[in-house]
Structure 1
Amino acid sequence: MWLSSAAAPELEGFHPTGGQIGSTNEVAAFGKFDPWPPSVWIDSAGLALVSTTNKGKFQAVIAADARPGPCLVRFYNAEGASEPRFFVIGSGAELADREPNDHFTNATAIAALGVTINGNFDKREDVDNYAVELKAGERLHARMESHTLMSKVDAVLRLVDSDGYQLAWNHDHATFDPLLEYVAPKDQKVIVQAFGFPYPAGSEIRLAGGEGSFYRLHLTTGQAPAHLAPRGESLAYGTPVTGVLTNVAQRDAFTLPVKKDQWVSLQVRAAQIGSPLDAWIQIQGADGKEITRADDSNGSADPALEWKPTMDGEVKVVVGSLTRRGRPDFRYELLAAAAPPAFKAVLEKGTLTLKPNEMNSVNLKIERFRGHTNKLEARVTGLPSAITATCTNVPAGNGSAVVAFIAPADAPPFQGPVVVKLFEAATGLEQVAPFELVSRSENNGVPGGYQQLAIPQVEHLWLAVLSNAPAATQAAK
């Protein structure tokens, strides 16, 4: 016999990772949950996870009036809380992956398109196959979500015919997740193959599998997306224009009115909307000379820039292709916006643990933009009555501030979200300081972290006020 101390839950994800509105489904949770069951917090009132007697298994109950989209889920117990993970409420038909379907000759038949398949690569070298019947001229649209849901797989989609001949494939698209489209030249059966590599990548080149290798595969059919020509030759602040660069020499130019010392923000969305265009953006003066230019922004392939005009008048905003190519699917959206002085704050951690008669703190990273100088004050809302929070060192410029939380000796246990905000007295503006789930890292050239997620940040700090009582233990043989 051995004894193990209870610990805070560790949640890695779910399979299936989603479900249809109005349905009830059995869901397996990946991670460590001792003791069982943990308590569950969900940011959506339309979803409930009801624990069963089988460890790691829940009934996911989705209300008929639930709002579709991704939800954040945390597990917690007397020792603390897990990091949040995703469960998706789907608005259409949902299916669960059924094994065996590891070869194109025994693919799972999909009776009707317009469906989402919840799958998990159960073992190393696993490939899931799905058979679809297409009519001549029909367009198949296959899109996978895995990386954006914090899966441990870098997924690939491959399309083959009934003889195994490759028709199309895609590895990464707008994110690390794949998307492919195929127009059937005749009535035919095609097989969508889903597989992937471990993420983050290791030293072995093998297909991924095991707990946490989950995905959602969306299979639909329909018309090609509209490739719109630019709407006019002028930009209006706050109203996006849409265009497509169809030939090698094409550059789209738009007139934008500007005023001296009033900041302008310009953003191009191409990769973010699934376009293969690698765009650049440029501002030209009345003489046609370049004032400023950008091609990438903050790790994204899409360009963005901010500029402070030195005069009143008009400028040209020009969009082009960095690779000097043009195609009918080189779509983009361009948005111009006024950019007044502003500030931003983010939490440097997402959970905070306290015990009675103790103090703990969280750092706020504060950035000011475009000459912002107004005084800022940190505030915390949603605190239990026994807990106090103070912050007196918000910097006048960029920097960090410390928010201290204090629990008195008689503080009762508490687990839940509290909200840290920055208050600007001069304007009355309050702004939430979130914890960012997105992250970027690199180890010897190998990317890590999750740069784009279904929900990029959590709008709260999870506060765990623990008991001073000794931790519970579990006996095992």
Structure 2
Amino acid sequence: MSAGVPEGSWRRTRRRGIAAGCALAAAAIAGTVVAADAPPVATRLFPAGGAAGSTVTVKAEGTFPRWPVQVWTDRPGTTWKPLEEKGAFEVTIAPADSLGVHRVRLFDAVGTAALRRFVVGTTAEAVETEPNNRPSEAQRISSLPVTVNGVLDKAGDVDCFAVVLDAGQTLVASLDAHGGLGSPVDAVLELVSETGGYLARTLDTRGLDPRIVFTARRAGTVVVRVYGFPAEPNQTIGLAGASDYVYRLALTTGPVVAAALPPAVGSAGATKVTAIGWNLPAAPPARDVTALPDARRMWIPFDGVSGAVELPVVAMPVTAFVAAGGSEPPPAVMPPIVAGGWFEAPSREAILRITATKDASLAIAVEAIGHGSEADPTLEIRDPSGAVVLAKGERDAAFSWKPPADGDFTIALRDRRGAYGPGHFFRVSVVPEKPEVRATTEADAVSGVVGGKVELAIAVERLRGWKQPVEFVLVDPPAGVSAAAVTSAAEGDTAKKVTLTIESTGPCAGPLTIAARTPAAEGVAAATVADVLAGKERLPVLWLTVQPAPAEEPKKP
């Protein structure tokens, strides 16, 4: 079994991408003026994923003025080979260290298409076949577990899949579209009989993506039905569809993972991680996971279990909440700490005890609904006597708390609706509060010409009293690419926004990293405090395309 799949080894991937991208771009451009040409456009990838260890043909829908294009991914694990047919690729997926979401960029010397997501899973894969709009036309699923790649490609489209269940079997049907793939669809899952009789319906289980967990009372065939609405509300009345309404529907009656405890991997040493899910054995699967170098997040699979769990890698201890009501209170832990849990029974309370120091502010953040959970936790902090000193009812609360005294305090969570089950998990971080700076750009790709200037606006967010100036610089830029450092002062116009001017002496197409750092001073070296995060995906890399300057038109005599 793999030790876990790393996501976020940005600098290692970025250096390889810069060297290849800029060299190939220069070769492609040599002797040709292409500045007026249009860049490639990719509106979807289909299928939008594949099984680890497999090879799959993927079609990128869009326009490609030049073929073949090149492919960049934000992490290793997949190899993309352009085929003769425009837009088609042979994708080879590594058997290990490939699980999870891959951001894919199709580019050439002229520009880049928007990022698209490709998901690597643990089960066999299938592709939706039409017609399957009615239960009587349902596509027969003969073997489980399986992940079906589908698309609601036109208004009114409904996709149906027939599954045979034994009495007492629990079917888990989980659809990934808006959350994992970025599809602009608010999907609905229904379970009906072959004659259309209603059995179950769900939507917005994990963000906008639905999941059904259904236990059959009697043997027979059930039909899983998929349809959708626009994720961004508009004037549409009725079922929506479009070529980019792609989805992945995971179906299984076997063990499947929803989350894991603890909810993070420690960066030092091994972390024992236990699966939470459905159809698991009495002793849930567990494994030791060691964080890989440079990894910010890891995808963790479990032997004999469908699915994988994405966990952050943290430089602090990790632990789990416990159910309230035990004979002895759990031991108190000292922040910083990342802890997690799940609501195992109706209206069950989960608790974590921490040791706090009077007036030593703590930053506390709850992660649930915004991170793929069905749970909607409320939070209380209680003093050693059990008195409530703070209560938070907002979703995914993040706040600062100053303990009123030294002692052991209890953080208690309940689901707002008293709901429970493996899908109702949460993660809580408790860390000493300290000043912090965050920097972002709206764009995830910029372009220019040789000898010209590319101006990039960077938004600066100063959190919890950060008052130092911040300097923005390029990190290991490719040959010929440069930018003078620009400083965000503690006050004034540049405190919240600066403009970095990028120049290049030659053609280039590749990823670029920009770092925020404290400026060097006498006897003190500059220190990086954050990467600039780009675009909606908030990746710590920005795509740069530089083309030759357009040739001057000859002067008229």
Residue in structure 2 matched with residue 463 of structure 1 by the alignment: 544
Contact 1:262 1:338 in 2 (8 A): no
**Alignment-mate amino acid for residue 488 of structure 2:** V
Cα distance change on mapping 1:312 and 1:29 into 2, 3 Å? same
Residue in structure 1 matched with residue 391 of structure 2 by the alignment: 293
| TM-score for the superposition, normalised by structure 2 | 0.72
The Cα shift of 1:245 comes to 7.6
Cα distance change on mapping 1:235 and 1:206 into 2, 3 Å? farther
One of 123, 145, 152 as aligned partner of 2:184: 152
Q: Report Cα offsets for 1:52-107 as digits up to 9, x if no partner.
A: 33332222232344511111111223332122111112222111112222211121
**Alignment-mate amino acid for residue 490 of structure 2:** A
One of 173, 177, 184 as aligned partner of 2:216: 184
**Alignment-mate amino acid for residue 210 of structure 1:** A
Structure 2: gaps spanning 5 or more residues: 1-34, 255-277, 285-320, 553-557
Instruction: Report the Cα distance in structure 2 between the residues aligned to 1:165 and 1:326, rounded to whole angstroms.
Output: 26
RMSD (Å), alpha carbons: 3.0
Residue in structure 1 matched with residue 201 of structure 2 by the alignment: 169
Residue in structure 1 matched with residue 477 of structure 2 by the alignment: 383
Contact 1:421 1:431 in 2 (8 A): yes
The Cα shift of 1:273 comes to 6.8
Q: Does 1:357 align with 2:357?
A: no
Q: Does 1:303 align with 2:401?
A: no
The Cα shift of 1:429 comes to 4.4
Q: Does 1:434 align with 2:533?
A: yes
Contact 1:245 1:251 in 2 (8 A): no
Contact 1:235 1:336 in 2 (8 A): no
Contact 1:266 1:334 in 2 (8 A): no
Q: Write the mapping of 1:86-101 to structure 2, written as runs, cut at 5 A.
A: 86-101=117-132
Instruction: Report the Cα distance in structure 1 between the residues aligned to 2:51 and 2:532, rounded to whole angstroms.
Output: 32
One of 191, 199, 205 as aligned partner of 2:237: 205
**Alignment-mate amino acid for residue 81 of structure 1:** T
Query: Between Structure 1 and Structure 2, which shows a larger proportion of helix residues?
Result: 2
Q: Report Cα offsets for 1:36-65 as digits up to 9, x if no partner.
A: 333222223332332233332222232344
Cα distance change on mapping 1:155 and 1:289 into 2, 3 Å? same
Residue in structure 1 matched with residue 296 of structure 2 by the alignment: none
Cα distance change on mapping 1:7 and 1:326 into 2, 3 Å? closer
One of 265, 268, 278 as aligned partner of 2:376: 278
Structure 1: gaps spanning 5 or more residues: 438-455, 472-477
Residue in structure 2 matched with residue 420 of structure 1 by the alignment: 514
Residue in structure 2 matched with residue 132 of structure 1 by the alignment: 163
Cα distance change on mapping 1:414 and 1:429 into 2, 3 Å? closer
Contact 2:126 2:146 in 1 (8 A): yes
The Cα shift of 1:143 comes to 0.7
- State which drifts further: 313-322 or 358-367: 313-322
Q: Write the mapping of 1:8-407 to structure 2, written as runs, cut at 5 A.
A: 8-65=39-96, 67-148=98-179, 149-222=181-254, 223-224=278-279, 229-230=323-324, 232-233=329-330, 235-236=332-333, 237=335, 238-244=337-343, 246=345, 254-271=352-369, 276-285=374-383, 290-296=388-394, 301-323=395-417, 325=418, 331-333=424-426, 335-341=428-434, 342-396=436-490, 399-407=496-504
**Alignment-mate amino acid for residue 447 of structure 2:** T
Contact 1:15 1:28 in 2 (8 A): yes
Q: Report Cα offsets for 1:435-473 as digits up to 9, x if no partner.
A: 142xxxxxxxxxxxxxxxxxx4212011111111369xx
Contact 2:381 2:390 in 1 (8 A): yes
The Cα shift of 1:374 comes to 4.4
Instruction: Report the Cα distance in structure 2 between the residues aligned to 1:55 and 1:77, rounded to whole angstroms.
Output: 14
**Alignment-mate amino acid for residue 12 of structure 1:** T
The Cα shift of 1:186 comes to 1.6
Residue in structure 2 matched with residue 475 of structure 1 by the alignment: none
Cα distance change on mapping 1:464 and 1:142 into 2, 3 Å? same
The Cα shift of 1:198 comes to 2.8
Contact 2:73 2:102 in 1 (8 A): yes
Contact 2:517 2:529 in 1 (8 A): yes
Contact 2:174 2:211 in 1 (8 A): yes
The Cα shift of 1:328 comes to 6.1
Question: Aligned pairs, how many?
Answer: 441
SS of alignment partner, residue 453 of structure 2 = strand
**Alignment-mate amino acid for residue 81 of structure 2:** V
Instruction: Report the Cα distance in structure 1 between the residues aligned to 2:338 and 2:186, rounded to whole angstroms.
Output: 35
The Cα shift of 1:275 comes to 5.2
SS of alignment partner, residue 105 of structure 1 = helix
**Alignment-mate amino acid for residue 216 of structure 2:** A
The Cα shift of 1:251 comes to 5.2
SS of alignment partner, residue 458 of structure 1 = coil
SS of alignment partner, residue 358 of structure 1 = coil
Contact 2:166 2:218 in 1 (8 A): yes
The Cα shift of 1:320 comes to 3.4
- State which drifts further: 384-393 or 394-403: 394-403
- State which drifts further: 53-62 or 131-140: 53-62
The Cα shift of 1:13 comes to 1.8
**Alignment-mate amino acid for residue 271 of structure 1:** I
Instruction: Report the Cα distance in structure 2 between the residues aligned to 1:150 and 1:160, rounded to whole angstroms.
Output: 27
Cα distance change on mapping 1:261 and 1:464 into 2, 3 Å? farther
**Alignment-mate amino acid for residue 475 of structure 2:** T
The Cα shift of 1:188 comes to 1.5
Instruction: Report the Cα distance in structure 2 between the residues aligned to 1:358 and 1:328, rounded to whole angstroms.
Output: 57
SS of alignment partner, residue 408 of structure 2 = strand
SS of alignment partner, residue 393 of structure 1 = strand
Q: Report Cα offsets for 1:246-303 as digits up to 9, x if no partner.
A: 456x65555432113433233334435765443211234456655433223xxxx333
Instruction: Report the Cα distance in structure 1 between the residues aligned to 2:471 and 2:487, rounded to whole angstroms.
Output: 9
